[in-house]
Structure 1
Amino acid sequence: MFLAVLLALFGLLGYAVMRYYRYVARYPKGPTPLPFIGNHGELDFMQQHVGFERLSKEFDGVCTVFTPSPIVHIRDIELIKEAFIQNGDDYVGRPQNKVFELFAFTHNGGVINSIGDNWREQRRAALSIMRDFGMGKNVQETLVQSAMIDLLEHLDEMKDKTSVDLHWPIQVMVVNVINEIMFGYRHTYKDSGELLKFLFVRIFENKLIFLGISVPFLADLPFIGWRVLQFVVDNVERALDTYSTNDEPTCFAQAYKQRMITNHALDEPNLYACSADFFLAGVETTMTSLRWAMFIMAKHQTTQDRLRREIHSVVGTNRLPSLNDQTSLPFTRVCVHEVQRFANILSNNVFKETGHKIPSGTMVNADIHHVMALDPLFVDPKEFRPERYLSEDGKTLRKDLIERTIPFSIGN
């Protein structure tokens, strides 16, 4: 009897393994996954680019990595453009995962991880509101310049300038630009403290979040600590506390609340979700890019001196740079591109879903890291050389390299 049960169990296991590899065969070829757990053990989710690079290097531009959920991994720039630009409508989906819902406040909420009609409505409303508050216009530029003046004044007030840690001042400066647009107020450098520190440490240093994407039931465990977006809720409530929809809105939260009256696709959960999307995405990427710029320029003094000379010759020392100056600052522009390429702060951006030639609902990832760090057009990519982006005339930017500098991916 025992032997019969054992044989039956082995038979069922063998059948399950066979079914699993039939399932694997539906996807583009990739590193052979272990039954049921996939390639999960071969990935370091705190350094995703390292694992993806190792697992995908033997395959021609595209492969599937099982985490254990399948992720179609695209590392060739031409294939990325074909998928996300030429066939962009086939890749507008977003994974509907329980972990992502923790950041979206609701199923299919916000602008980053939503899909279908709700994505279109939230994106349309959010972009319209952002344009009203000066996105891409002088109003936004003035806001950035004002926050920069606050930062310079804070640094000037420091008594001990022999050892200055720019991490926190840069963080507050970036938060203030976005905070004023989203919620209508700024933090001061003296009292911004614990809440913001809590926000960034708890969200962006939690390793278990990546495991939860593949094992969604972990999101229900109380000790995981993902439910830290109370910060966003508090700020939205602060912005709306004394606001009447009859008044002229002064920030994103108020403008969204006002539009909820006439647009039934807009509601409170999506207000929180959109606010979280813009705040978290904008703050983390900008803050990290600026900190990397500081480190890189400190190490490359010759480049820093050349950059300073160009800015002083065009802008002078009595005002801040503006967008109107950029055509006269070619070396400054290529320094920005090279910092983003060299720092390479995102190994991938938002995962997408598709039903085009691969099973519907499959997550698709563009390997941003590989394109900017290993594309053959970037000669000696491990060297920091902003001038690589300049044409022979020393003024025109090389289009072929610019289109490969995709720090935030491409497409919708």
Structure 2
Amino acid sequence: MLLTIFLALVTVFIYAIIQYYRYVARYPKGPTPLPFIGNHGELDFVRQHVGFERLSKDFDGICTVFTPSPIVHLRDFQVIKEAFIDNGDDYIGRPKNRMFDMFEFAPNGGVINSVGDNWREQRRAALSILRDFGMGKNVQETLVQSAVADMLEHLDEMKDRSNVDLHWPIQVMVVNVINEIMFGFRHKYSESGPLLKFLIARIFGSKLMFVGMSLPFLVDLPFIGWHVQRFIIDNIDRAMLNYSTDDEPSCFAQAYKQRMLTNKALDEPNLYANCSDFFLAGVETTMTTLRWAMMFMAKHEDVQARLRREIHAVVGTNRLPSLNDQNNMPYTRACVLEVQRFGNVLSNNVYRETGHTIPAGTVVNADLHHVMAHDPFFIDPEKFSPERYITDDGKSLRKELIERTIPFSIGKRACAGESLAKVELVLCLAAMVQHYRILPCVGAEIDLEPIALGILKPKDQNVRLEKAF
């Protein structure tokens, strides 16, 4: 009897393994997964880019990694372009992760993680409103310049600039830009409030956030989601104070509220969801990229000196750099591109979901980090070298390299805030180098080894600032 039961169990087990590998065979080839647990034990969930790099290196542009559910991993630029642009409609879905539920004000709400008709409607309306409040207009440039001027004033008021933590000034500058667009007000450096500090220190850098991404059942524990929602609610309440839909709106929240009167697809939960999406996405990546930019300048003083010479020659010292100056500042543009390439902050792209060729519902990851770190078009990619983007005439940039510099992703799910982020990066970096020499603190060296936790961040380290004129 026992032998019969044992043989039956072995038969069922063998049958299950056979069925499992038949299931595996439906996907593009990749590292051989173990039955039922996949490649889970081979992944590095903290340094995700390292784990995917190791597992996919023996496969040409595309492979499947089982975590234990399948993730089709795209690591070649042409493959990513073919998927997200040539066949863009087949890669616009989003997989569902319960971790994101705690940031959502409505099921399938907002623009980042929503899908289907609601995603199309919310994205269309949001981009239209954002264009009205700065994105794609001169208002955007003026807004960023004003926020940068406030940051420079804050730095100028420092009595001792020999040991400066730039994290906080950059953070407030970036928050103020998106805050003014979304809610119509900005924070003062002296009155930024404990909740704003909490958002950055406890959420954007939270290990609990990362754990929740890997173990979604933990979202049932009330550890951070409430704080994000409370922050957005408070800001929208402030924006709506004394506002009537008969008035001319002065920010995104008010404009969305007004459009709710004529568009049934727009409602209160999606208002909160959109504001949450744009705030969270618009702050962390831009802020971290600018922090990397300051570290790169301090580490590569020759690059910084060349950049400053160009800025002073074109802009001078009596005004802040403008977007129009870019036409005469190829090295500045090259520095911003190299900062985005070399300091790519996303160790892993936001996942998409497909229903074409690959089985429907499969999670797809475009490895933007690998493209910018290892694409053969980037000669000596491990070196920080803005010169790589400049053509032999010294006046224009290499289009084939710009095309492969894709920190905002590509296709229909590319970052909706790309244009604003680009303005912030170029105007902030140029103004900082125009006004200050950014140097290591005396006796210290700049450490460029990133802290990996979903977003690749520079280690907390101070710099020395010296007036440049």
Change (3 A) 1:5 1:203: farther
Contact map agreement 1:340 1:407 (CA 8 A) in 2: yes
Q: Deviations over 1:60-116 (max 9, x none)?
A: 100011122211100000111111111111111111332233333222111111111
TM-score if structure 2 supplies the norm length? Answer: 0.84
Residues 392-407 of structure 1 mapped to structure 2, 5 A cutoff:
392-407=392-407
For residues 241 and 40 of structure 1, the distance between their equivalents in structure 2, rounded to whole angstroms, comes to 50
Distance 1:254 1:191 in 2: 24
Are residues 1:110 and 2:110 paired?
yes
Deviation at 1:253, TM superposition (A): 0.8
CA distance in 2, matches of 1:249, 1:82: 41
- Aligned residue identity for 2:335: C
Q: For the residues of structure 1 that align with 2:241 and 2:7, how far apart are their CA atoms?
A: 67
Partner of 1:133: 133
Whole-Å Cα distance in 2 between the matches of residues 183 and 361 of structure 1? 36
Per-residue deviation at 1:353?
A: 0.9
Partner of 2:436: none
Distance 1:28 1:210, change over 3 A: farther
TM-score by length of 1: 0.95
In the alignment, which residue of structure 1 is the partner of 2:74?
Answer: 74
Listed one character per residue, the Cα deviations across residues 208-245 of structure 1 (whole Å, up to 9, x for unaligned) are: 5456556543332x155344322222212221233221
User: Which residue does the alignment assign to 2:259?
Assistant: 259
Q: Does 1:100 align with 2:100?
A: yes
Q: Give how far 1:386 is off.
A: 0.5
Q: 1:231-287: per-residue Cα shift (whole Å, max 9, x none)?
A: 222212221233221221111111111111111111122111111111111111110
Deviates more, 1:31-40 or 1:325-334: 31-40
Contact 2:75–2:367 (CA<8 Å) still a contact in 1? yes
Q: Which residue of 2 aligns with 1:225?
A: 224
Structure 1 residues 309 and 118, CA, compared in 2 at 3 Å: closer, same or farther?
Answer: same
Secondary structure of residue in 1 paired with 2:149: helix
State the partner residue of 1:327.
Answer: 327
Match of 1:311 in 2: 311
State how far apart, in whole Å, the 1-side matches of 2:208 and 2:42 are.
16
Equivalent position SS for 1:379:
coil
Q: Secondary structure at the match of 1:243?
A: coil
Question: In percent, how many aligned pairs have the same letter?
Answer: 74
Relative to structure 1, is the Cα distance of residues 406 and 183 closer, same or farther in structure 2, using a 3 angstrom cutoff? Answer: same
- Output aligned runs, 1:147-166, within 5 Å: 147-166=147-166
Residue 191 of structure 1: aligned partner: 191
Match of 2:120 in 1: 120
Which secondary structure state, in structure 2, belongs to the residue aligned with residue 228 of structure 1? Answer: helix
**Could you tell me which amino acid in structure 1 is paired with residue 132 of structure 2?**
D
Which secondary structure state, in structure 2, belongs to the residue aligned with residue 152 of structure 1?
helix
Change beyond 3 A, Cα 1:134–1:311: same
Distance 1:361 1:293, change over 3 A: same
Structure 1 spans left out of the alignment, 5+ residues: none
Q: 1:372 and 1:261, CA in 2 relative to 1: closer, same or farther beyond 3 A?
A: same
Helix, strand or coil at the partner of 1:318: coil
**1:41 and 2:24 are equivalent in the alignment:** no
Amino acid at match of 2:389: Y
Hey, what's the Cα distance between the residues in 1 that align with 2:54 and 2:225?
Answer: 29
Deviation at 1:291, TM superposition (A): 0.5
Mapped contact 1:111–1:274 kept (Cα < 8 A)? yes
| Distance (whole Å) between structure 2 residues aligned to residue 214 and residue 64 of structure 1 | 18
2:317 is aligned with what amino acid? T
Q: Please name the residue that 1:391 is paired with.
A: 391
Correspondences of 1:159-308 after superposition (within 5 Å)? 159-207=159-207, 209-210=209-210, 212-213=212-213, 215-220=215-220, 222=221, 225-230=224-229, 231-308=231-308
User: Could you tell me how far apart the structure 2 residues matched to 1:64 and 1:279 are?
Assistant: 33
Between the aligned partners of 2:205 and 2:280, the Cα distance in structure 1 is 14
CA distance in 1, matches of 2:361, 2:175: 35
More displaced 10-residue stretch of structure 1: 154-163 or 100-109: 100-109
Q: For 1:403, what is the secondary structure of its paired residue?
A: helix
In structure 1, C-alpha distance between the alignment counterparts of 2:381 and 2:105, rounded to whole Å: 40
2:287 partner amino acid = M
In the TM superposition, what is the alpha-carbon distance from 1:2 to its structure 2 partner? Answer: 4.5
Contact 2:134-2:181 at 8 Å conserved across structures? no
The number of residues matched between the two structures is 411
Q: Which moved more, 1:267-276 or 1:74-83?
A: 267-276
1:69·1:214 contact (CA, 8 Å) conserved in 2?
no
How far residue 50 of structure 1 moved from its aligned partner, in angstroms, is 0.4
